[in-house]
Structure 1
Amino acid sequence: MKKHKNVVIFLIKFFVTYFILFGIYAAYLEKSQEKETSFQTASITTSVAKQTVGVLEFFGFHADYMQHTEELSVKLLINNVYIARVIEGCNSISIIILFIAFIVAFAGSIKATIIFSILGSVFIYVINILRIAFLTVMLHKYPEQQEFLHNLVFPAIIYGTVFLLWVIWVNKFSNYKK
C-alpha cells in the first residue's frame, strides 16, 4: 500500500473535489434551468451565448442569440440565420470543474493552488467563448463540415487548453514538480 500511497491520495483528492464541485453545479442547474412549462437555460449558459455574440460582433458579424423554445439551449444567429446552439455542456463549467479537481489533487501551496485554479478557470472560460465564436463562424461559412468541426476541432481546442494548463501546473507549481 505504501508503494501506491501517492496515487491513492491523488485519486481521493481528485474525486472528492470533483464530486463536491459537481454537486454544487448540479444544484445550481436544478434551481436555474426551466424545462417544465417552457425552456430557459441556466444564466451561465445564456451569458456564454451573449458573450459569444459580443465576440462575433467585435469581428464584424451581425450576430444575435435567443433562447431556444423547444430545448434547453440558446440559439446563435448570424445575419438572422440560426447557425449553432449553446447547451449546458458548452458553457465550460463542467470542464472547469475537471480542471480544478486535477489542480487540487496535484496541489502545490494553498496560495498557488487557489490562484492557478482561478486564473486557469478564467482562461478556460475565455478560450471557450472564443472557440464557440470560431465554430459559429466556421459553421456559417462551411456548414458541410459540421461533423468535423464540432466533433474534432471544437473539443481539441478546449481539451488541449486544459491539458496544457495541467502540464504547466504539474511542472511549475505543484508539489510534484521536478
Structure 2
Amino acid sequence: MADAPPEEDVLVYESAGLPRTGTWWSAFVIGLAGTILVTGIAPVMVTELGAASIPVIVVITLTGYIVCLLLAELSAMMPDRTGGLPSYAYPAYKDRWPRTAEHINGFTAWAYWLGWFPVAPLNMILASFYIVDRFGLSTAGFTPIHTPIAWWTLGISVVGLLLLAIPAARGLRFGTGFATALAMLSMIPL
C-alpha cells in the first residue's frame, strides 16, 4: 500500500472552459471604467490636501500600476480563470501551504467583496443627485441618520441599480456594448 501515488488536489473549476467572448474592446472598456473610478477621488483629495496631494496621487498611481502588472502576470499564468485576486489565491498557495490556502482564498474573496460592494450604490446615488438637480425634481424626503435623502434620489438609485443588473447578468459582450452606449450618452451634457 505504500507504493500508491499520493492524491492530487484537483479543483473541478480549475479549467472550467471559460468561454472567451471578450475582445480588445472589452478589455479597453473595463480598463477605462477602472480608471474613471480611481480618478474620481483626485478633485476631493486636491481640495483637502492641496499640494500635498501630488505625492499621494503618485504613490496611489504607482501602486495601481504594480497591481495591474501582478494581475496581468497571474492571468497569463492561469488563462482559464476570470476575476480579481480571489480567483487566483487558492491555486497560487495550494501547493506550498494547502491548509492555509483555503483561508487565504476566503479572506481575499471577502476583501474583494468589501472593496467593490459600495461602488455601484455610491455611483448610482451620485448619478441620482445629478438627475434630481438637473430636472428640478422634488427634494422632499426623509432623514434617517442626520443625512437628508430625497425620495426621488432613492427611487432613481434603486431603479438604476436594477437596470444595471440586466447587462451584468447578460454577460461580457452585452455588458461591453451597454457600457459603451452609456459612455456615449454620458457625453451629451458636455
TM-score scaled by length of structure 1: 0.30
Larger gyration radius, structure 1 or structure 2: 2
TM-score scaled by length of structure 2: 0.28
- The answer to which structure has the higher strand fraction is 1
